[in-house]
Amino acid sequence: MFILNWYITKNFLATFTMSIVVLTFAMTGNSLMKVIDYISQGVSPVIAGKFLLLALPMALAFSIPWAALVSIMLVFGRLSADNEITAMRACGISILQIISPIIVSSFLLTCVCLWLQLQVGPPALGEARDLVKNAAASSPLSFFTPGIPVQFGQYTFFVDGTDTSSGEDEIYGVQIYVPGKDGKTKADILASRGKLSVDPVTQVLTVTLYKALVEAVEGNDSVPLQPGYSESVDLPIPFGDNYNQKDLTIKDKYLSYKELFARLAIYMKRGKDAAGVDATAINVEINQRIALALAPIAFMMLGMPLAIRTSRRETSIGLCLSVALGALYYGGVLVSDALRNHPQLYPQYVVWIPPLLFQLFGVIYLTKIARK
């Protein structure tokens, strides 16, 4: 029996290792692009690497369940297609004995996911966000991405390009505008290029604009520049205000489970009616994390009988089924997230619909297979 269990475990672990490497790389692709971009803009490779490491726990929290599902679908699909499961059962080995190594593996993976989702991942993600802000203060060019608008207080910047070849942080093809409350533009500033400098103490970013043309609405005193053309003009921007105001309250998604429950207790002291949307949002966050962490067990319960019943060796079939099941499972999370501002719909319970259905159909299918 030990040899059989080791045979199934070895196949599962080999496929799981390959799957988690590929899936984790795919899920951190956006972070990798940011790291490369930060390094190219002068941010220290050490800081960029630390950012990637801090983003890794949450990526693993999502890739581990999916890698387990892919491994189960591929391994048991092949075993069933090769009639190995039929041969095992002909020797008097029950289906429960055959899948017992995967049950143990799924339980261990669920424990790891709970640890990542509840304790490690969210605070690390918040630390990665703060790290990016601090890195931006030491390398102001990392604020700007060509073709993408970036806002600092009342100013919205568009730049066509960036450059550090001269040893200074420079931007080219600069357009800055100040939108008004009525939707009209209060001020529009055009410049051929600009030079960036930052004071980390006062948290003021100074943009020195060259060959600048300032067009402002008459009587508008919100822009500290005179309308007209200038060969060189300085535009001071207190970028610290842009970020520090957002740090007064940490978002729920960056809190550990202890901090979430503490915040929930504070909201509940207001009374059920007063807590309202705030308490519901935290309940949704907590339930989402637990449901996502329990995904390995749900995937095992439904994925295993489906793999046995399909009996296909083709990798493409297993991958397609894995994607379909994963999409259904995570769909419940997306729906509950969309409804978190509607307490009357109880979105914290919506997230549990896919896990319960997966467990129910999994038990039904496994029972049918065991009776054959």
Amino acid 108: pLDDT: 93
pLDDT (average), residues 180-202: 77
Which phi and psi angles does 252 have, rounded to 5°? Answer: -55, -35
Highest mean pLDDT of the ranges 49-63, 150-164, 301-315:
49-63
pLDDT tens for each residue of 238-259: 765 555 544 446 788 888 888 8
- CA gap 163, 192 in Å, rounded: 13
pLDDT (average), residues 185-209: 80
**110 pLDDT tier (thresholds 50, 70, 90):** very high
Query: Which has the higher per-residue pLDDT, 270 or 106?
Result: 106
Say whether pLDDT at 87 is over 80.
yes
User: Residue 295: which of 246, 331, 247 has the closest Cα?
Assistant: 331
Query: Which has the higher per-residue pLDDT, 182 or 175?
Result: 175
Amino acid 339: pLDDT: 84
Say whether pLDDT at 112 is over 90.
yes
pTM of the predicted protein model: 0.70
**219 pLDDT tier (thresholds 50, 70, 90):** low
**111 pLDDT tier (thresholds 50, 70, 90):** very high
- CA gap 167, 146 in Å, rounded: 19
Angle at 240 between CA 237 and CA 242, to 5 degrees: 80
Q: Map residue 218 onto helix, strand or coil.
A: coil
- CA gap 281, 279 in Å, rounded: 5
CA 222 to chain centre: 37
**Can you point out the beta strands (E) in the chain?**
150-152, 155-158, 161-163, 169-179, 185-199, 204-216, 228-237
First to last CA, the chain: 21
- CA gap 356, 363 in Å, rounded: 11
Query: Which has the higher per-residue pLDDT, 335 or 199?
Result: 335
Highest mean pLDDT of the ranges 33-37, 89-93, 104-108:
104-108
pLDDT (average), residues 253-269: 84
Lowest mean pLDDT among 121-130, 168-177, 244-253: 244-253
Amino acid 186: pLDDT: 75
Q: Map residue 219 onto helix, strand or coil.
A: coil
227 burial via Cβ count (<10 Å: 0-12, 13-18, 19+): middle
Strand partners, 174: 191
Q: Map residue 189 onto helix, strand or coil.
A: strand
CB 207, CB 235: distance < 8 Å:
yes
Lowest mean pLDDT among 144-153, 292-301, 339-348: 144-153
Q: How do strand 185-199 and strand 204-216 relate by DSSP bridges? A: antiparallel
CB 65, CB 295: distance < 8 Å:
yes
Strand partners, 206: 197, 236
Say whether pLDDT at 139 is over 80.
no
Q: Could you count the other beta carbons within 10 Å of the beta carbon of residue 337?
A: 16
Q: Map residue 105 onto helix, strand or coil.
A: helix
Amino acid 43: pLDDT: 65
Structure tokens belonging to residue 96: 């429960």
Per-position b or e across 97-136, b if 16+ CB within 10 A of its CB: ebbbbbeebbeebbeebbebbbebbbbbbbebbebbbebb
Amino acid 42: pLDDT: 58
pLDDT tens for each residue of 27-83: 777 777 766 766 665 566 777 778 888 888 988 998 999 888 888 888 888 887 788
Which phi and psi angles does 231 have, rounded to 5°? Answer: -70, -35
CA 334 to chain centre: 13
The mean pLDDT value of the chain amounts to: 79
